[in-house]
Chain A
Amino acid sequence: MGLITVGFVLLITVYLVISGIPAIGEIGIINFLFGTKWASTASEPSFGILPFILTSIYGTAGAIIIGVPIGFMSSVYLAKMANKKVKTVIENAVSLLAGIPSVVYGLVGMMVLVPGIRKIFHIPDGASLFAAIIVLSVMILPSIIKVSLTALEAVPKDYEDASLALGATPVETYFRVSVPAAKSGIAAAVVLGVGRAIGEAMAVMMVAGNAPNMPSLFGSVRFLTTAVASEMSYSAGLQRQVLFSIALVLFLFIMLINAALNFFLKREKVK
């Protein structure tokens, strides 16, 4: 049965490469990756995806900046300080958060967050990179909390006892002993969060505005994922091929992240 999974991965990879390469060849890799203008249906179409790449990177980075501290602190609290009742409640809430479909995140973002941002910051329209970052940071919380929680709980109690016996306060012990001991697991949690954020399409599409601009915090932006999703249904010819090329670029990004994840996990095993 395992072979079926491998087969699917290979099939998708081969298919993406075969359908993604020709358009890159036609446009030229430099024009494609570093072009700043996207006008796929113009009479003289131009296919530059630099805005999408930068938006995806900025958006993911923003989500990490907001989501990781919250997720990390929550997991330290849950693993070490919370009493059993509180911990059960919060853990269940986090699991529930992980189970919410992304379209629901998008819908709530569209109905609540986007008008909220418009009113709070007094800008004409709230659909922006900022809205996408907020949605993404909430979406990556469950994976960050759960994985780092597991890592923190796996730290042998002897370490902490030794630290406490030497006179360190509990808080010092958690941050100086437990966290460093679990650091590869926490790093894996962050990478997992990055993977979730960069691959998200539906929720982001509903709050980011989708105009192919160069990214700015309160401007309407389009991500790599949404670039594929929003134009796929009507595309034809070269436009469609280019969408596959974008998917290929996204695929490479995610491969990189997976490689990073494997790297961290392996290091943990060697220890």
Chain B
Amino acid sequence: MKKIVCIIIAALAVVCAVPAFAAGNISGTVATDGSTSMEKVIGALGEQFEIDNSGVKFTYNPTGSGTGITAVSEGRCDIGLSSRSLKDEEKEKGLTETVVALDGIAVIVNPANPVSDIDLETIAKIYTGEITNWKEVGGEDAEIVLIGREAGSGTRDGFESITNTSEKCAYRQELTSTGDVITTVAGNPSAIGYASLASVKNTVKAISVGGVAPSEETVKDGSYVVQRPFIMVTKADTALSDAAQAFFDWAVSKEAAEIISAAGAVPAAE
């Protein structure tokens, strides 16, 4: 027993003694606050930024887009994160937005389903339970099974706000991960679901919305409508700290684009 304790203490001592080699040229903290949907993107960016600049401490507070915007306008964080564009009255308060990435949400059905194109309004009607049978939208005579994500999920929040169905969706299944949604839709010929565009595999069919098929290009040029921007909110009249400015510039640069793609979003940088 004593021996084990000794070993543990020794191990801790070694770990603590490893000095932080401050090699990066910038130091300080970058505090971000806001959208929970951006967790993956901003987490990946922050992690890489900390690796590249070991003197920098990066923090992310997942509170929600609205809270993040308020936080930056009150000066409680360096960069606010929002998964919706700023409203006019928010812009009037002296805030500016910079798009860091775009998030496309694919509407998916089973490959056996003949339906391949639905417009946004019809999707909303399907999800609110107004249309309950596939034959009403040109498919077979089968009840539509609505697959969605759990309350609080960023994808669900994004999908519902784009289709204008917040709090009105009559889900048959609420699943906790994108993978589960895809598996379920792949296993049920009458299911419809939604998932982040980057994670859609060929076991399901991503339908086109209003005639536009989802892809990185159509998300980027804005013709695919089930998408939303991931933006960084800053104060126009206040300069960022060195560390925060460095992060800001790096996040919209080409270097960061790969990390953003890997995290499942479409990078805004050309």
| Interface residues, chain A, with chain B CB atoms under 8 Å away | 39-43, 110-111, 114-115, 118, 124-127, 205-206, 209-212, 220, 222, 229-231, 233-236, 239
B174's partner among A126, A209, A235 (CB-CB below 8 A) is A209
If A43-B167, A115-B187 touch, whether A209 touches B173 (CB-CB below 8 Å) is: yes
Q: How many A-B residue pairs have CB under 8 A?
A: 79
Taking a contact as CB atoms under 8 Å apart, the answer to whether B188 and A125 are in contact is: yes
Query: What residues on A are CB-neighbors of B63 within 8 Å?
Result: 236
Q: Which of A41, A110, A212 is within 8 Å of B183, CB to CB?
A: A110
- Stretch in contact with the other chain, from B11-19, B68-76, B142-150, B230-238: B142-150
A111: B residues at CB distance < 8 A: 183, 187
Contact between B173 and A40 (Cβ–Cβ < 8 Å)? no
Partner of B188, one of A41, A118, A231, A234: A118
- 8 closest cross-chain pairs (CB), A and B: A234-B152, A124-B143, A209-B173, A41-B151, A210-B174, A125-B145, A230-B150, A230-B176
With A124-B145, A234-B152: A114-B172 Cβ-Cβ less than 8 Å: no
Residue numbers in B under 8 Å from A236 (CB-CB): 36, 62-64, 152
Nearest-neighbor residue (CB-CB) of A210 within chain B:
B174
Please name the residue on chain A nearest to B39 by beta carbon.
A234
Which residues between 168 and 183 of chain B lie within 8 Å of chain A, taking CB atoms? 171-176, 180, 183
Kindly state the separation between the CA atoms of A118 and B184 in the bound complex, as whole angstroms. 12
Contact residues of B between 35 and 73, Cβ < 8 Å to A: 36, 62-64
B153 is an interface residue with CB less than 8 A from chain A = yes
Given A210-B176, A234-B36, does the pair A41, B171 have CB atoms closer than 8 Å?
no
Q: How far is the CA of A235 from the CA of B176 in the complex (A)?
A: 13
User: Among A40, A41, A220, A239, which residue has its beta carbon within 8 angstroms of that of B172?
Assistant: A220
Residues of B within 8 Å of A234, CB to CB, are 36, 150-154
Q: Any chain A CB within 8 A of the CB of B227?
A: no
CA distance A110 to B175 in the complex (A): 12
| Contacting residue for B180 out of A39, A206, A229, A231, CB 8 A | A206
Indicate whether A42 sits within 8 Å of B188 (C-beta atoms), given known contacts A124-B145, A211-B172.
Answer: no
Q: Which of B6-26 contact A (CB under 8 A)?
A: none
Residue numbers in B under 8 Å from A209 (CB-CB)? 172-174
Q: Are B172 and A205 neighbours in the complex by a CB distance under 8 Å? A: no
* 26 A-B contacts (beta carbon < 8 Å): A40-B151, A42-B167, A110-B184, A115-B188, A118-B188, A124-B142, A124-B190, A125-B188, A125-B190, A125-B191, A209-B174, A210-B176, A211-B172, A211-B173, A212-B174, A220-B171, A220-B172, A222-B174, A229-B176, A230-B150, A230-B176, A231-B150, A231-B151, A234-B153, A236-B64, A239-B152
